[in-house]
Amino acid sequence: MSKKTLSLCCAVLTACASIFGASLARASIITYSASGTGSDGALSATAQFTTSAGSIQIVLTNTLSASQFVSAGQALSDISFTLSNAPGTLLSDSASGQQGNISTTGTVTYTTGSPSRFIGVGGGTFTINNTTDTILMEAIGGSQPSELIAPSIANGGVYTNVNNGSISFNPYTIGPGTFTLNLSGVTAGTTVTSATFSFGTQPDTFLPGTPTTTTPEPSGLLLVGTGIAGAAALVRRRIAHA
Three-class DSSP category at 223: helix
- Express each pLDDT in 149-176 by its tens digit: 999 999 999 999 999 999 999 999 999 9
Which positions ≥6 away from 227 have C-beta within 8 Å? none
What is the tens place of the pLDDT at every residue in 132-142? 999 999 999 88
Residue 3 has pLDDT above 80, yes or no: no
Residue 143 in this model has a pLDDT that exceeds 50: yes
Please check the confidence at residue 109 and state whether its pLDDT lies above 70.
Answer: yes
Residue 15's SS3 state is helix
- Torsion, Cα of 71, 73, 60, 177 (10° steps): 60
Q: How many residues does the chain have?
A: 242
pLDDT (0 to 100) of residue 241 = 55
Does 238 score more than 90 pLDDT? no
Q: How confident is the model at residue 17 (pLDDT cuts 50, 70, 90)?
A: very low
- Domain extent listing, the chain: 1-24+217-242, 26-216
Cα distance from N-terminal residue to C-terminal residue, the chain: 9
What's the pTM value of the predicted model, to 2 decimals?
A: 0.80
pLDDT digit string, tens, across residues 59-85: 999 999 999 999 999 999 999 999 999
Instruction: Provide the CATH topology of domain 26-216.
Output: Immunoglobulin-like (2.60.40)
| 42 or 22: which leads in pLDDT | 42
What are 186-206's pLDDT values in tens digits? 998 999 999 999 999 998 999
The SS3 of residue 152 is coil
**pLDDT of 19 strictly over 80:** no
